């Protein structure tokens, strides 16, 4: 402990003696004199620039998000860009969400890039993450930065780095950028205050390009015309979707968009929710309550940087069901594939993409329509990688992941909540127009047609300095002694993404996992009855995630609740058998 205290005090003293602003020095001095615990938390390590960028609590210190840690990251990225593009004009795009300090961080990033002789396109105010991805491609940038901590609590902010295809950086750039960032250790290494003429401000005129690109995704304009006035409740959760999501809905032709007014106020404190995570029903409460009072067709939300979508749909009893990420993905993908087939647009080689921990239902739907379904590692950058690898060879239709992210079309290379909201609303209008049913009723019909797929998730948290070691030992044990059966059904195949091997349990034969060349510390157990259990340590938090997928036939819609309850009970029994509850 004494060594840790000495390390912390040494690092804090460096900030007191160094070229840091006076307000920062005063705050460091306050921590030294008054708040030992916070001082340790702020300085005991450096905020890590990981493969996705930075994310952390805001404050002073080496382990906090502030203009200095953001500056070190940006200078490292600038240096890497100059190494990679030595004889080119380097261009970057920058956006941010509604979080506290996001604008300040974005302007700092712009200043550093400009001071390094890089051409900067900075949005004049907050914009959704997908528009940042779109801007990189549209403006032929080599890189981009989105200042956001996604759906984390208000104390957090973050910094996502993008590459020239509009995707978050992947190998080898991710690890190579980290090496350059680690070389920046002094404030004096960070260039600032030069070449302001290198910064171009992007205004609402640029938004039209993005909105027009989304409009090209429309598949049922006649249905929208007939049901343009259906009631759509939308909440941006105090975030970046506040203007562009309703603008996109209007661009599609919808005229009755009901905003959750209290949550349409831009506020990085997210005052109306405990957490701005639309996966949680309590976060969606105001939208669902408003939908109930208005008898709306659907309620939808985007998270603070507007890359993810949440949908609440009315069932036959008039209750609003908050879909999970798998259900939202299935609905959007089924709508796209159904309409593409009806319009005669599906061609040989067309494909969709999902992650390995996402429901297997898209595989069945894609096979039905003669479309290839690619599976990839968890994280939208891997979906973008599949798109990049097939560019010019095959047509991407749509893709997503279980964590509430979907991307229709390929003009953006990250999940797109703005486009997904418009597509979901159009799907609801199409269902009413051509089938005389709600979107939720159509989802139930899809389960009858393709099978009732049901999913579950458990996060096992192991905090403290021993937490990471405990999690790693769990994975070692699972590799050495995998379950032989799950609820009495034998495990017939094991997929190990760390070695990229598929193991036939009966024969012991090992073969390569097809279609994936990136390794990840993930295990999957597949049983004879179609159950799938995936085990994956989180890359950013002290937790290990267990994903469950089960399936049953749904003979008719009137059996929906009965089969749903049986599948949920099966997932709970699996959790119990594995000792997770």
CATH number at residue 359: 3.40.120.10
**Residues 185, 276 share a domain:** no
CB of 272 closer than 8 Å to CB of 235: no
Residue 145 included in any domain: yes
Q: Are 422 and 302 in a shared domain? A: yes
Residue 473 shares a structural domain with residue 393 = no
Same structural domain, 246 and 357: yes
Q: Is the pLDDT of residue 536 over 90?
A: yes
The pLDDT of residue 470 is 86
The predicted structure's pLDDT at residue 492: 98
Edge-to-edge strand ranges of the sheet holding 143-147: 53-57, 156-163, 143-147, 91-96, 119-123, 199-202
Q: Which residues pair with 459 in a beta bridge?
A: 545
The DSSP bridge pattern shows strands 91-96 and 143-147 to be parallel
Q: What is the mean pLDDT of residues 303-315?
A: 97
Rounded to whole angstroms, the Cα distance separating 110 from 62 reads 21
Task: Find, among 82, 116, 294, 276, the residue nearest to 199 by Cα.
Answer: 116
Token digits of residue 396: 């991407």
**Domain carrying residue 276:** 210-450
* Angle, helix 22-34 to helix 2-17, in steps of 10 degrees: 150
What is the C-alpha to C-alpha distance for residues 125 and 104, in angstroms, rounded to an integer?
Answer: 11
Percent of the chain with pLDDT strictly greater than 90: 92
- Which helix (H) or strand (E) segment holds residue 4: the answer is helix 2-17
Whether 540 has a pLDDT exceeding 90, the answer reads no
CA dihedral sign of residues 118, 199, 194, 133: negative
Lowest mean pLDDT: which of 169-178, 204-213, 399-408?
169-178
456 and 445 in a common domain = no
With a cut of 70, say whether residue 415 has pLDDT above it.
yes
Q: What pLDDT, on a 0 to 100 scale, did the predictor assign at position 467?
A: 77
Taking Cα atoms as reference points, which of 401, 408, 404 lies closest to residue 336?
408
The pLDDT assigned to 489 comes to: 97
Q: How many folded domains does the chain comprise? A: 3
Q: Which of 57, 36, 144 is nearest to 99 (CA)?
A: 57
pLDDT at 23 over 50: yes
Name the pLDDT band for 1 (thresholds 50, 70, 90): very low
Q: 274-284 as b/e, with b when 16 or more CB fall inside 10 Å?
A: eebbbbeeebb
Q: Inform me whether the pLDDT recorded for 115 exceeds 50.
A: yes
| pLDDT score of 45 more than 80 | yes
Q: Is 251 found in the same domain as 152?
A: no
Instruction: Point out the residues that are catalytic.
Output: 150
Confidence check: pLDDT of 2 > 80: no
Range 79-95 average pLDDT: 97
Per-residue pLDDT tens for 233-281? Answer: 999 999 999 999 999 999 999 999 999 999 999 999 999 999 999 999 9
Interval 215-239: pLDDT, tens = 999 999 999 999 999 999 999 999 9
Same domain as 381, residue 237 = yes
* Alpha carbons 227 and 249: distance in angstroms, whole number: 13
Position 533 confidence tier, pLDDT thresholds 50, 70, 90: very high
> Is residue 285 included in any domain, yes or no?
yes
pLDDT of residue 81 exceeding 80, the answer is: yes
d(CA 120, CA 197): 9
pLDDT tens readout for residues 421-470: 999 999 999 999 999 999 999 999 999 999 999 999 999 988 765 777 88
Lookup: tokens for 272: 């109306």
Does residue 72 lie within any of the structural domains?
Answer: yes
What residues contact 514, with CB distance under 8 A and at least 6 apart?
A: none
pLDDT interval class at 48 (50, 70, 90): confident
pLDDT of residue 465: 58
In angstroms, rounded to a whole number, what is the distance separating the alpha carbons of residues 306 and 481? Answer: 42
Instruction: pLDDT band for 541, please (50, 70, 90 cuts).
Output: low
556 shares a domain with 478: yes
Residue with the larger pLDDT of the pair 560 and 543: 560
Let me know whether 408 and 471 are in one domain: no
Task: Write the burial class of residue 303 (CB in 10 Å: 0-12 exposed, 13-18 middle, 19+ buried).
Answer: buried
Q: How far apart are CA 291 and CA 234, in angstroms?
A: 9
Task: Sort 215 into a burial class: Cβ within 10 Å, 0-12 / 13-18 / 19+.
Answer: middle
Determine the pLDDT at residue 350.
Answer: 97
Structural contact between residues 328 and 406, judged by C-beta atoms closer than 8 angstroms: yes
């Amino acid at each position: 402990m004494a060594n840790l205290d000495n390390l912390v005090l040494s690092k804090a003293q460096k900030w007191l003696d160094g070229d840091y602003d006076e307000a920062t020095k005063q705050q460091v001095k306050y921590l030294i004199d008054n708040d030992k615990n916070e001082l340790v938390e702020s300085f005991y390590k450096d905020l890590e620039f990981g493969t996705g960028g930075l994310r952390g609590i805001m404050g002073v210190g080496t382990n906090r998000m502030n203009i200095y840690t953001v500056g070190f990251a940006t200078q490292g990225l600038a240096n890497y860009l100059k190494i990679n593009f030595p004889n080119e004009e380097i261009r970057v795009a920058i956006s941010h969400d509604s979080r506290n300090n996001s604008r300040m961080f974005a302007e700092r990033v712009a200043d550093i890039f400009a001071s390094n002789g890089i051409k900067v396109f900075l949005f004049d105010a907050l914009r959704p993450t997908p528009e940042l991805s779109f801007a990189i491609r549209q403006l032929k940038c080599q890189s981009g930065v989105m200042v956001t901590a996604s759906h984390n609590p208000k104390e957090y902010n973050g910094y996502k780095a993008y590459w020239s295809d509009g995707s978050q950086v992947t190998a080898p750039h991710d690890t190579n950028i980290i090496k350059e960032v680690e070389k920046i250790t002094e404030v004096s290494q960070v260039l600032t205050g030069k070449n302001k003429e290198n910064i171009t401000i992007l205004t609402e005129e640029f938004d039209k390009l993005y909105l027009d690109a989304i409009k090209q995704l429309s598949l049922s304009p006649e249905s929208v015309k007939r049901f343009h006035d259906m009631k759509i409740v939308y909440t941006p959760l105090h975030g970046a979707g506040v203007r562009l999501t309703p603008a996109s809905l209007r661009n599609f032709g919808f005229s009755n968009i009901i905003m959750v007014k209290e949550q349409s106020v831009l506020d990085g404190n997210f005052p109306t929710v405990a957490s701005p995570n639309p996966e949680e029903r309590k976060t969606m409460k105001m939208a669902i309550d408003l939908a109930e009072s208005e008898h709306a067709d659907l309620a939808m939300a985007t998270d603070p940087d507007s890359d993810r979508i949440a949908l609440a749909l009315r069932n036959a009893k008039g209750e609003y069901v908050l879909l999970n990420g798998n259900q939202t993905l299935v609905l959007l993908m089924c709508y796209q594939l159904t309409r593409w087939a009806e319009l005669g647009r599906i061609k040989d080689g067309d494909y969709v993409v999902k992650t390995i921990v996402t429901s297997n239902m898209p595989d069945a739907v894609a096979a039905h329509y003669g479309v290839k379904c690619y599976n990839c590692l968890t994280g939208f950058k891997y979906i973008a990688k599949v798109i990049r690898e097939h560019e010019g060879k095959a047509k991407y239709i749509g893709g997503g992941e279980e964590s509430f992210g979907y991307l229709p079309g390929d003009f953006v290379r990250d999940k797109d909540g703005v486009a997904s909201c418009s597509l979901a609303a159009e799907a609801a209008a199409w269902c009413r127009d051509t089938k005389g049913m709600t979107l939720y009723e159509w989802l139930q019909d899809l389960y009858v047609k393709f099978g009732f797929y049901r999913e579950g998730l458990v996060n096992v948290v192991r905090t403290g300095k021993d937490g990471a070691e405990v999690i790693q030992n769990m994975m070692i044990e699972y590799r050495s002694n995998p379950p032989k059966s799950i609820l009495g059904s034998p495990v017939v195949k094991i997929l190990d993404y760390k070695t990229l091997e598929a193991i036939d349990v009966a024969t012991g034969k090992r073969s390569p996992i097809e279609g994936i060349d990136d390794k990840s510390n993930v295990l999957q157990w597949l049983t004879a009855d179609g159950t799938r259990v995936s085990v994956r340590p989180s890359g950013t938090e002290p937790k290990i995630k267990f994903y469950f997928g089960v399936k049953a036939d749904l003979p008719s819609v009137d059996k929906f609740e009965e089969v749903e309850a049986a599948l949920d009970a099966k997932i709970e029994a699996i959790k119990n058998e594995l000792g997770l509850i």
